[in-house]
Structure 1
Amino acid sequence: MSKHRPDMVILDIMLPDGNGLDICNVLKRNIKTHDIPVMMMSANNHLNAVKAKCDAEDFINKPFDLNDFVNRVDKHLLN
């Protein structure tokens, strides 16, 4: 296993080869990755629906404002 960890994981809910919610759950249940902030994004879901399925720290609807996206990432990385 790599010694390098991402500072944050940004996942779309609908991925071409899987489900971002499933990946989020795997990350949040793993002792080695549970503390990495996860931001979910989707054009078809709402925060409450995502929060019920995954413990992501943040959610952003698509399309999104680039400045809002950067501010959200900064908020999690600067904490």
Structure 2
Amino acid sequence: MNKGKRIMIADDDPGIVDAIEMTLTFEGYDVVTTLTGDTIISMSDNFPDLLLLDVWMSGHDGRDICKLLKMKSETSNIPVIMISASPELKRSATEAGADDFLEKPFNIDELLNKIELLIG
């Protein structure tokens, strides 16, 4: 059911990236990961079907990355779920164009449900 759906995880915490990657791979998604915002900003092809984006990443604010993606015609339709340990950032993430928001630590079933709603 999820075969062929490509999800990019962008978070500067390798432990979070590894845990989410393992789960999504087990669920049948094609997963790519990055620990830096530069990878997302420099994407020019092979775009993911969905992006899991941390709000605070080394050197970059995920909200700025989200705004940039939503402004470009080739990436504006990619659903973005922003994740953060700060629940008060939900509003600013939504204002930046995020399609959804998850507070860390989050329940993996909640993540899977949000992904399914956006790209299922």
TM-score (normalised: structure 1)? 0.87
- Name the one with the larger helix percent: 2
Measured after TM superposition, the shift of residue 16 of structure 1 is 1.4
Unaligned runs of 5+ in 1: none
The alignment status of 1:50 with 2:87, answered yes or no, reads no
Unaligned runs of 5+ in 2: 1-43
The alignment status of 1:19 with 2:61, answered yes or no, reads yes
How do 1:1-79 residues align onto structure 2 when only pairs under 5 Å count? 1-2=44-45, 4-46=46-88, 47-52=90-95, 54-78=96-120
- Length, aligned pairs only: 76
The 8 Å contact of residues 87 and 103 in structure 2, kept in 1 or not, is answered as: yes
TM-score (normalised: structure 2)? 0.59
Q: What amino acid is the match of 2:94?
A: K
Structure number with the bigger relative contact order (C-alpha 8 A, sep ≥ 6) is 1
Instruction: Give the secondary structure class of the aligned counterpart of 1:55.
Output: coil
